[in-house]
Amino acid sequence: MLLLFGNKIVKTEILAQNGSLLVSAERNFIFPKNLDTSEESILIIKGKDLPELDRGTRVAIITYSKAGDRIRYAGEISMSHELQMNVLILKSNSTQVLEERRRYFKIKVNLSGRALFVVRDEETIRFEEPASIGVNDINVGGIFMTCGYEFQKDDCVCVDIELMDNYRLNTMAHVLRVQKSAEGDILGYGCSFESLTAAQEDVIGRYINHQQLLQRAKQNSDNE
Q: What is the pLDDT of residues 43-99, one digit of tens each?
A: 999 999 999 999 999 999 998 876 566 788 899 999 999 999 999 998 765 555 554
Fold observed for domain 9-97: Thrombin, subunit H (2.40.10)
What is the predicted pLDDT for the residue at 214?
83
Residue count of the chain, please give it.
Answer: 224
Could you tell me the pTM of the whole model?
A: 0.54
Q: Higher model confidence: residue 213 or residue 118?
A: 118
pLDDT of 138 above 60: yes
pLDDT of 6 above 50: no
What is the predicted pLDDT for the residue at 80?
95
* Rounded mean pLDDT, 12-25: 90
Average pLDDT, the chain: 86
Q: What residue ranges of the chain are covered by domains with CATH 2.40.10.220?
A: 107-223
What is the predicted pLDDT for the residue at 102?
45
What is the predicted pLDDT for the residue at 95?
59
Q: Sorting pLDDT into bands at 50, 70 and 90, what band is 111?
A: very high
What is the predicted pLDDT for the residue at 3?
44
pLDDT of 153 above 90: yes
* Rounded mean pLDDT, 114-121: 95
CATH number of 107-223: 2.40.10.220
pLDDT of 1 above 60: no
What is the predicted pLDDT for the residue at 5?
38
Q: What is the pLDDT of residues 192-222, one digit of tens each?
A: 998 788 888 888 888 888 888 887 777 777 7
pLDDT above 90 coverage of the chain, percent: 54
